[in-house]
Structure formats: C-alpha cells, structure tokens
Amino acid sequence: MQDIWRLSAQDLAALIKSKKVSAKEAATAALARLDAVNPAINAVVDHKPQEVLAQAAAIDAAIARGEEVGALAGVPVTVKVNIDQAGFANTNGLKIQRDVIAATNSPVIDNLRKAGAVILGRTNCPAFSYRWFTTNLIHGDTKNPRDPAITPGGSSGGAGAAVAAGIGHIAHGTDIAGSIRYPAYACGVHGLRPTVGRVAAFNASLPERPIGPQSSAVSGPLARTIGDLRIALHAMSGKDARDPWWVPAPLEGPAMPKRAALCLAPDSLEAAPEVRAAVIDAGKRLQRAGWTVEEIADTPPLREPAELQTKLWLGDGYEAQLAAAEREGDPGALACLRGNKSKVFPFDADALSKTLTRRATLSRQWLQFFETYAVLLIPVSGELPFPDGLDRRDEASFARVWRAQLAQIAIPFMALPGLTVSTGLVGKIPVGVQVVSGRFREDLCLLAGEAIEAGGVPPAPIDPVS
C-alpha cells in the first residue's frame, strides 16, 4: 500500500485490526515520512526509531494472539515535549530542563498506549509553552509547512506542523490559552481543547503546578479529520488516579436541538474580513446540514475572563517564572513575561481570591448561555495566522498579538471546551472557526465540527513549502 502515512487514524486502525496492514508497516511509513520532511520544519525534536518499531511489533503480536488492541491500534501519534514519557527529557522547550528525564509516563501517554497507539516522536514548543510562536534555545525553530513565513502557532506548534505535514496521524497538544486551537488554525488542521478534567494529566518529573495552570491547562488532540479527534479524545480521556481534577463524565451527553449561535465580534473583538468570512461560511455549512444558526450581536463576557486567565496563568508564581526565564535566557519567554507584568503582577492572596470568586459569576453566565445554544461559532483569532515572530518585533506588535487572541485566552477561564475547525485557505494562509460548547460537551463541538468539515474540503497532509 502506498503512502500509509496519508490515511486517517480511523482508516489505518481498521486496516491494522483486519491485518491488511501491519503496525510495523505503519510505523515504518511514519518514520520514513518523518525522515523525509521533518528536517524542513523541525516539528519533531526527539524520537527513537527502534523504540517506535518495538511498540509496533507488540501491537502486531497482540493482534496475532487475537487480543483486543484498542481504537488506535498501531496508529503513529506524536506527543508534545512538555509531558512525561519514560526515558525522554521533559524539556518544555528549555535548556534548563534538558536533564529532566521522565521515569514514568504521564497519564496521556499511558492512555494512548492502552488504546493501541504507537508513540512516534516528541514535538516542539516555545520555551515554557508561553507563546503562539514555536522557537526556543534548545530545539530551535519550528516552521509552518504551509508557509514558513507564518507562525506554526504555539505552544503546540510542533504538533500542528507535524500533523499537517503527515508526520503521525494524530498529535497530542496542551492548551491553557489557545495552545491547541491556535496551532491547528495556523497549520490548517483541526484541534480540540477538552473541558478541564476530561483528560488526566500529571508530570512526576516536575514540581506540582500552581493553581492557575492546574485549573485551566488541558491536554488534547490535533488531527486532520474530526473523526480522528473523536477517537483520540476517547483514547486520551481514560481514568487515571494521579490527576485529582479528572472527572468520570460521559463522552456523549444528553441530546440537544441543533441550535448554534454565531458571533463575528464577540466582546468587541476586532476581526479581519477574511476571519469574519470564515465564521459566516461555517455557519452556512451548519445550516445546510440542518442546524438552526442564529447570528447574535454579542456573547457573554470574553475580555474580562481573558484578563483574569492571563493573571492566573502568568501571575500565579510570576516572580519564580521570571527568574526561571532569566536563567534560560529565552527572548520570547522574557518578552511574554515582561510584556504582561503590568497586567499580572503583583498577584497576592487577595487577588487570587477575587479572581476565583469572579470566575464563578462569569462561568455561570456562560453555562446558562449553553442552556439555549448547543454550540457557539466565533473566530479563533482576530487575524489570519501571524507573520512568524510578530510578537517580538516591537511593543505595538506584541500588543496586537495578544489583542487578537482574546477568544482563545478567555475560554479556558470558564473551563469550557473549544474546537478549531479548519475551513480552507486564503491564498495559502489557513483560516478556520472556533466552536465552543458547555462543559463536557465536546460531543456537541465535534458534532458541529463534522457538519462544518463535511461542507468543505477536509485537510490533507502536505509537503512542506520551502
């Protein structure tokens, strides 16, 4: 079979289970694709081919014995370099963590392996996973395979670039302020930020995270089809007692009328004409699929949650984060922290209490909104994917980047799920829409996402553009 790496995860798993393709053949094809295109984009920054082949051999042996091997049987999957994988460094894009070698797997790795996935390699992120651009001093720059002049996104930029270029069929990413949704948008693939508590997370190699990241950071999948996101979420969301935030919520919730709200400028977000057109297009695709789509003038608040989320993310432990960034010396990380200092510091116990108290009020408004609508369609970003490195050009560019990302930063504050659906290209620049729903209603996001995807042309793996 030619170009196994082009297949969807669903199709490949079915072929492997039926013994029409072996897991070893799939792994060999994935490794060959990695060797062929990764040098141009630097998406995968660590992998061990012999270990990959050994994982695949174990899947083939289990199938030969007639054992159940899981929904991702033999499917090559990449994981972000900021989660624990036994025997690998959890660098999080940092020289100062090059010797943080994990002794055990994170729950995400274990759950993927239980589902039969073959872990292909580890993908790049910016230092500390801070930015919507992917470069650091230990692994270097990741390039967008569609256009090296634009960002691959961040912080899961390696994940987005890998899956767009056909390196693996599914990519793992993490998201605290858009770090799954934005790379999917920038690289022209799909990406799901699950509800907080859906996917168990824990890195035994590192100190416990502060309450801000604990209560809003998530792991989730990026893929080229919505169907692959669905099976990836199912695989990733297994129980793991190491994460006290994990919730045994069903993956399918009660049926709701197919009613969507559409907002082009939520909380006064300035959206480019091409961005607005993509949201309108997504709404029309939903209507053609039988959904009721109602354009609304505004949503519950986004601007205030975005400000408070930034405080929780960067303000909780700000001085320690700044000290670590200064030790690392990464210009992008320092720009992020110094550029946001006036917004987030000082952040004392009183500020934390007020932020968490306010979160209850804002979350309530959003949860009540989703009693009326199954999903909300809004821009992923106010702009098309940025020129690479835009946030470091000058103060005005830094402010421009953060202003455009309003709708990404805010959603995690309410612990809501968000889905980026790639809807096409403007020239060679990807564009898409963000689909948001109520807590633990990823199923509604995916249901709408499948209808939007079906109304257009699903993303296909591409050769990197030089």
Whether the CB-CB separation of 162 and 153 falls below 8 Å is answered with: no
CA distance 263 to 276: 9
CA distance 341 to 322: 10
- Distances in Å between the Cα of 69 and the Cα atoms of 115, 119, 138, 225 are 7, 15, 36, 22
Catalytic annotation, pick one of 80, 143, 258, 311: 80
Whether the CB-CB separation of 175 and 220 falls below 8 Å is answered with: yes
Query: How many other CB atoms are there within 10 angstroms of residue 339's CB atom?
Result: 17
Whether the CB-CB separation of 176 and 182 falls below 8 Å is answered with: no
Catalytic annotation, pick one of 8, 155, 205, 437: 155
Instruction: Please report which helix (H) or strand (E) contains residue 10, including its range.
Output: helix 9-17
Amino acid present at 320:
A
Is residue 353 among the annotated active site residues? no
What φ, ψ does residue 191 adopt, rounded to 5°?
-150, 135
Secondary structure string (H, E, C) spanning 337-352: HHHHHHHHCCCCHHHH
Beta strands in 300-400 (DSSP E): 375-378
Is residue 155 among the annotated active site residues? yes
Residues 6 or more apart whose Cβ sits within 8 Å of residue 149? 387, 388
Q: Give every strand in the sheet of 259-262, ordered side by side.
A: 44-46, 118-123, 76-80, 170-175, 218-223, 190-193, 418-426, 429-436, 375-378, 259-262, 292-295
Catalytic annotation, pick one of 179, 205, 216, 437: 179
Q: Tokens for 405, please give them.
A: 């990302």
Helix, strand or coil, per DSSP, at residue 335: helix
- Tell me, what DSSP letter sits at residue 160? H
Bridge partners, 121 (sequence order): 78
Pair type for strands 259-262 and 292-295:
parallel
Can you tell me which residue has the tokens 């940025």?
386
Is residue 179 among the annotated active site residues? yes
Amino acid present at 136:
N
Give the active site residues: 80, 155, 179
